[in-house]
Amino acid sequence: MDEKVKGEIIKSGNIVLSGFMGSGKTTVGRRLAAALDMQFVDMDLYIEKKTGMTVKEIFAEYGEPHFRALETETVKELAQSNHFVIATGGGTLMQPQNVEGFHQGGGTIYYLDVPLAALQERLKNDKRRPLLQTPDRRAVIERLLNERRPKYLASADVVVDAGAPTVVVVERICALRGEPIEKAKRKKPGNTSEKERPQKKRFRRRRRKKGASPGTPQENS
């Protein structure tokens, strides 16, 4: 599997990582943000902090359409900046308005392409993703990947072979952007976005006033 550049790589805009669940968007994104001195945002975590609910809880209480609407709101917010490495959710770029939103904001979409067998192995013990909580997990992964992959490919500006170790994937993206490969070897995690920091601090202070110490199950829900 080779890297394919299908659209323009805009170095001054956001780096948007696309791909199926388990494709490594968060892991690659953190390391890539560190390498390029950019801020990292995981969209699922961003939504969880904003709503005070986990993705699983949002799905259970309000349904998938509500979560998808939250994703679209988040895309609009993040597209207003140009210094983020963004890990999208597995279904974020299935919505044309989200693809358009990132592109209008000057973002470049990188699809992390991982073989089916590797995804099934990575996700075999997953307990977090609502769509995978089924006895027939391997078949569900195959069906969803077959449905989504054509859309991932269609929306991507760059297709990256992401079946390799994280550092190799980061090196490939750096090379495509004309960045020194040595940057990919930095191991510190990427910065949390400034948009996330204030909310996180207020959240902690509010919990402490109620008498909950850091690390309680309530705070980590």
Share of the chain above pLDDT 70, in %: 80
Q: Is 27 annotated as a binding residue?
A: yes
Mean pLDDT within 88-109: 94
Element of type H or E holding 159: strand 158-161
Q: How confident is the model at residue 139 (pLDDT cuts 50, 70, 90)?
A: very high
Q: Is 90 annotated as a binding residue?
A: yes
pLDDT over 60 (residue 83): yes
Mean pLDDT within 151-173: 95
pLDDT at 207: 38
Mean pLDDT within 206-213: 40
Q: How many CB atoms lie within 10 A of CB 147?
A: 10
Q: Is 88 annotated as a binding residue?
A: no
Asked if residues 70 and 98 have their Cβ atoms less than 8 Å apart, the reply is: no
- Rounded Cα distance, 59 and 104, in Å: 28
Q: Is 128 annotated as a binding residue?
A: no
User: In this structure, what token pair is assigned to residue 55?
Assistant: 């993705």
Q: What are phi and psi of 108, to 5 degrees?
A: -110, 130
- Rounded Cα distance, 56 and 62, in Å: 10
* Better pLDDT: 136 or 213: 136
Q: Is 148 annotated as a binding residue?
A: yes
- Rounded Cα distance, 122 and 90, in Å: 14
For the four alpha carbons of 183, 187, 188 and 191, in that order, the dihedral sign comes to: positive
pLDDT over 70 (residue 93): yes
Mean pLDDT within 177-183: 80
Element of type H or E holding 144: helix 137-155
pLDDT at 151: 94
Per-domain boundaries in the chain: 4-193
Mean pLDDT within 75-81: 95
pLDDT at 128: 79
pLDDT at 135: 83
pLDDT at 197: 39
Q: Average pLDDT over the chain, rounded to whole?
A: 83
Using alpha carbons only, give the angle 193, 198, 74 rounded to the nearest 5 degrees.
55
Hey, which residues does 191 pair with through a beta bridge?
39
pLDDT at 112: 97
Q: Is 211 annotated as a binding residue?
A: no
pLDDT over 70 (residue 158): yes
Q: Is 22 annotated as a binding residue?
A: yes
Q: Residues in the chain, how many?
A: 221
Q: Is 186 annotated as a binding residue?
A: no
Q: Is 44 annotated as a binding residue?
A: yes
Fold of the CATH domain 4-193: Rossmann fold (3.40.50)
User: CA dist 15 to 64, 104, 120, 150, 206, Å?
Assistant: 26, 13, 26, 20, 33
- Rounded Cα distance, 60 and 131, in Å: 11
Mean pLDDT within 4-12: 73
Task: Give the start-end residues of each E strand in the chain.
Answer: 4-5, 15-18, 39-42, 84-87, 108-113, 158-161, 191-192
